[in-house]
Each structure stands twice: as C-alpha cells, then as structure tokens.
Structure 1
Amino acid sequence: MTDNWGFYERRAGNEQMRVLVNIGYKGTAPPADYSELLSVTVNLYPVRERSRNNKQVIVQLEELESKLEHWLKRTADAVYIGRINAATRLEFYYYLAGGKLSGETLRAWLDEQWPHRAQSYIKPDPEWEFYRFLLPDSLEELFVHNAQMIYALIHKGDKIAEPRNVYHWLLFRADEDRISMEALLQKQGYVIEKEKESQPEQEYPYPLVISKYEDVRLDTINARVRELHRLLDGRDGRYDGWGSAMKLSAANRFRRYMRRGKESAQSTLRRVFSRGQSQSNQNQPGKR
C-alpha cells in the first residue's frame, strides 16, 4: 500500500490535537496478520525543560520519530499509521503482525534511545478500530486539503502571512437557501462576489462565491472553513473550497519571472529543434 499522508487539527473537549495520519489504508480491509496496535507516547514537559529553544525540541522529536520508524520497520516490519501532537504529549502509532515484537523489547529500545519519559503499549486491534478513529471526518478532510494547499503556496514562495482577498465557494441545492445564506454572510462581514465565476453542479445548481480580506496561514484558513461549515449546517448546501492570489516577495517574483522565461526559451528551442529534425528527415534520400 502506498503511503498517503494527511494532516489536520482536531478538537477533543478543551484539547487541541494536530493529527498526521496515513490515509493510504482508508477504504481497504486491514492487512492480513497486522492485528496489534503499538503506541509510544512522549511526555513533552521534560523535553522542553532541558532544551534551550523550541527548534531544539523539534529536532529531538524528529530524530526520535525517524529512529523509531526505521527500527520498527527493520525489526518487525511495522506499519506507521499516524501520530497525535497535543500540548503536553506526542503519540506515535503503528500496526504489527501478531507476535512480531514484545513490549519488553520495545521498552528496552526506548530506554536506550530516548533519555526522557515515554510510555508504550502493544494491544490487540485486529479490526484497526484506532486507525478508523484517526481518519478525518468531513470537516477534517477540508483541513487536510487546506494544509496541502498552504504547503504548496509556501513551496512556491508565497508570503502566507500577508493579507489578500481569499475567496470561498459554496454550492446549494435550492436557490432560497443560497439567498438566505447571502444575507447571513453579509451580516458576518463577508463580501458577496457576484462577478466571480463558479461552476454549478447537477446536484448543487446554485453556486455562491464570497470573500474575506485576510492572510492564508493554516490557523486562519481552518478557522474560516470551520465557521462556514457551521453556518451551512441545516441548509442543503456544501463547502466547495477556497483560493486566492499569491503574494510573493520581490526576490521570489524575480525568480518566478526568470523561471518562466527559461521554460519559454526551452519550449521554443524544442519546437525549433523538432522542425529542424523534421526538415532534415524530409531531405534524406528515400524520404517522401
């Protein structure tokens, strides 16, 4: 099974959790023989107390995650299915084939490799119930998409903390629901974008485009999507995504301009070379 990782935020009571889950197993039956759930929980208090800054804490935890993953893969061919990051702890979860690894062996490795407090257990979970618990619900799936989009923007050089018009697309089954939603959203400070195009769908033929002037940091976008998802509750409509213009620094704009110029020149050269090859072939003896 190919790994396919999704990241989202989940609220459980008063606790905020950041979840990373391998959604590559979603919709499939649990792999044969992988009937045991392995958990390792790291207490973050002692790590922070002995580290000088947050960056150092992150480096230590990333090193532990990498070592644990490689050791479990090599030792027990374990399947890494996700982690939960909360304010006070970091939890790693794997599935094992029954009897592949003992709790004592895991405990000994942790004592040798990790200087701080960590708890661990191995227990039966043949139906992968905990994995189903980790999978995102409909709202959390939107958060997964948000994280992917914002990561792509950062990778392209977007200054995500800089405000801009952020557009959101909504779709409705009935026009009266769209009209009532327009009035509600205007009271909430949204701009109704009458001039923006939106493609209706057969089951949702009434689109609505709205906007807010704000940044596109993950916390901002997730809060906005959560709000719109809540406002849609009880109406026969659905949220259909968001988008915005990129905000690049001067250096990134210049690099993007140069890259496009280079790609255009390479494309032109390929066309010229292709035509030259074609003419050369036509001039060869025996060619018609």
Structure 2
Amino acid sequence: MVTCTGRSLAVACLVFFLATSCDDGSDTGAPAAVRVRTSEAPEVPRHREDWKTYPTQIDGRLALVLVDLGFGREPSIGSCPHLARVVVPLKDPGPEGVGSASAEEALARLEDQLLGDLGPREEWRFVGRVRTAGEFRYYFYVADVAAFGARVGEATRRRPDDRPRLEFELDEGWRLYRSDLYPSEEREEWISDMEVVETLRSQGDPLVDPRPVTHWLYFATGEDRARFRRSIEGRGFAVAGEEDGISMERPFQLVLERVGSVDLERIHAEVMELVEAARACGGEYDGWETQVKK
C-alpha cells in the first residue's frame, strides 16, 4: 500500500495496489488495480514535511507552485510569525514567465546554498516557492526579521548576478501561506489525480486504453443520494452498488462506474464533475479505482 497525503489539511489520499496474487500467495490471474480513497487523517503531532507541486494561474499568468502541505498541519507557528519572501528574477523568463529547465537548475543551486546558510531550523521554516511572472519567490516563516535578513544577505552576496530582494510581512495567521501557496480544492483534487495517474504510469500503463473507472460517493441521507442519482442521469455513469450505514456523518454510499481512458486531463474532469454534483446534493466524493492496463 502506498499512502500519499495532501488533499487538504485533514485529508489523506490512499492509493491501494491490489496485486495480481491474493494475500495467501495464490495467483488469481487478474490485472492489478489502483484505488484512491480519501478520509479524515489523524492529527499530526509535529511538522512532517509533505511537499507537493502543481500548476495554477496567478493574476492570469502560469504559476508553478511547490508547497509543504505538512506545514499547514502544525498546531502553531507562534515562534515564527513573520513571512519572508526571497524574490529572484529569472534572467530568461520565456513567453510564459516561468523560465527554462536550465534556469531552474541554476536557481536550485541558489536554493540549496540559501537553505544551507540560514542557521538553526527552529528560527525559520521554508514552506514553498512560486515560479511565475519572471520570478522565483521563496517563502519562509521566521522568528527574527533582522537575523534572517542578515543571513540571506550573506548567502546571496556570493551570487550578485541573481539580484534577489527580500520582503517581510507580519503574518501570524498564515494568511499568505494559504493564499499564495496552498492549493484550492480543485487543485488538491488535481494533485491527487496526478499522483494516481503517475502511479499507473510507473506500473507500465500507457493510460490510453479505455477501462472501467469506479467512483465512491457518500451522502447524509438516502434522499440526497437519490437526488444525486437523478442529477447525473444521461452522463454515462452506471450504478455499481449502494450500501447504507457506512459511517456516522454520511452513511449512504453510492458506487458509480464509467468506461474511459485515465489520462490526467480526462480523469480529472470526470472527478470534478462528480465532486461538484455531489456537493450540490450535500454529498462527498471519496475517490476512484481502476485497473492497470499494459
């Protein structure tokens, strides 16, 4: 079993591999399957880093975001209340403003140097970066603005051509972490779908062959579930099962199936179709499963 977290502050995404052999070692001859399910995650007692990347739009321009979702699970950041941004202009941003692979490699060296020269980790937290509009923007939460500024100045003095600038803002409530870095609900779904698609690809699946994709949804009442079923009639989904009493909050389960390919763009559109339809009926989408096809 592979576990991947990051759909939300209290959500985990579980990817289950159903191997071609049963638990007792017997070979069933069935193809492998991959399933992604979501459920409430246990409280995280300390900061465990959980880095995710995703594309988005900021002010109408492409942005590539790297964010530590584990930081958002910390109970408090009172010791580091100041947001610090280290902004480095890209020498050749290109038409989309995110630069080239070579520019990323050069700035990765700056990033490694910077993180290595900043002193004790309890005085700062690196929480993410954004690559957009011709800039790399590194985000930190820091305890001492003056000390952090001095360390950044020393670390970047050896690279004058990078022309970094440093910005500070008091942000005790993580507002800028959530607004600038943390993914929207739709982007969280994209991250989860991308991870499952990449897992399929790593198993040798070219992602082009149509196959049944099974989806799980949960509702607070049987009436909500019935209303949802009516709302998706004619969209190509078949009901694969129903069960009651699954959980306390949303005990009415619905299992749907639709045949199609699982390239990222198509499967993400399918997932969001169900997420939005379920929300309109008071329900919750809980993940999907499909077979590996080689």
- Normalised by the length of structure 2, the TM-score is 0.65
RMSD of aligned C-alpha atoms?
3.6
CA-to-aligned-CA distance 1:177-203 (integer Å, 9 cap, x gap): 434433443433x33143x68786232
1:48, 1:57 within 8 Å by CA — same for their partners in 2?
Answer: no
Q: Return the index of the structure with the highest Cα Rg.
A: 1
Change in Cα spacing, 1:204 to 1:30, as seen in structure 2 (3 Å) is same
Q: Work out the CA distance in 2 between the residues paired with 1:227 and 1:73.
A: 47
Q: Which residue does 1:230 correspond to in 2?
A: 276
2:214, 2:255 within 8 Å by CA — same for their partners in 1?
Answer: no
| Displacement after TM superposition at 1:130 (Å) | 2.0
Q: Which residue does 2:138 correspond to in 1?
A: 92
Q: Which residue does 2:173 correspond to in 1?
A: 127
Matched, 1:173 2:220: yes
Q: Work out the CA distance in 2 between the residues paired with 1:18 and 1:68.
A: 20
| Displacement after TM superposition at 1:209 (Å) | 1.1
Matched, 1:201 2:243: no
Correspondence list, 1:104-115, <5 A: 106-107=152-153, 109-110=155-156, 112-113=158-159, 115=161
Change in Cα spacing, 1:78 to 1:238, as seen in structure 2 (3 Å) is same
Correspondence list, 1:136-151, <5 A: 136-151=183-198
Q: Work out the CA distance in 1 between the residues paired with 2:198 and 2:157.
A: 35
Q: Work out the CA distance in 1 between the residues paired with 2:141 and 2:243.
A: 44
Partner SS state of residue 72, structure 1: coil
Change in Cα spacing, 1:65 to 1:221, as seen in structure 2 (3 Å) is farther
2:83, 2:170 within 8 Å by CA — same for their partners in 1?
Answer: yes
Matched, 1:216 2:260: no
> Structure 1 or 2: larger strand share?
2
Change in Cα spacing, 1:247 to 1:58, as seen in structure 2 (3 Å) is farther
Q: Work out the CA distance in 1 between the residues paired with 2:68 and 2:129.
A: 9
Q: Work out the CA distance in 2 between the residues paired with 1:136 and 1:197.
A: 32
| Displacement after TM superposition at 1:99 (Å) | 3.9
| Displacement after TM superposition at 1:39 (Å) | 0.9
> Structure 1 or 2: larger helix share?
1
Q: Which residue does 2:72 correspond to in 1?
A: 26
Structure 2: gaps spanning 5 or more residues? 1-46
Q: Percent identity?
A: 23
Structure 1: gaps spanning 5 or more residues? 249-288
Q: Which residue does 1:253 correspond to in 2?
A: none
Change in Cα spacing, 1:216 to 1:102, as seen in structure 2 (3 Å) is same
Q: Work out the CA distance in 2 between the residues paired with 1:240 and 1:131.
A: 26
- Normalised by the length of structure 1, the TM-score is 0.66
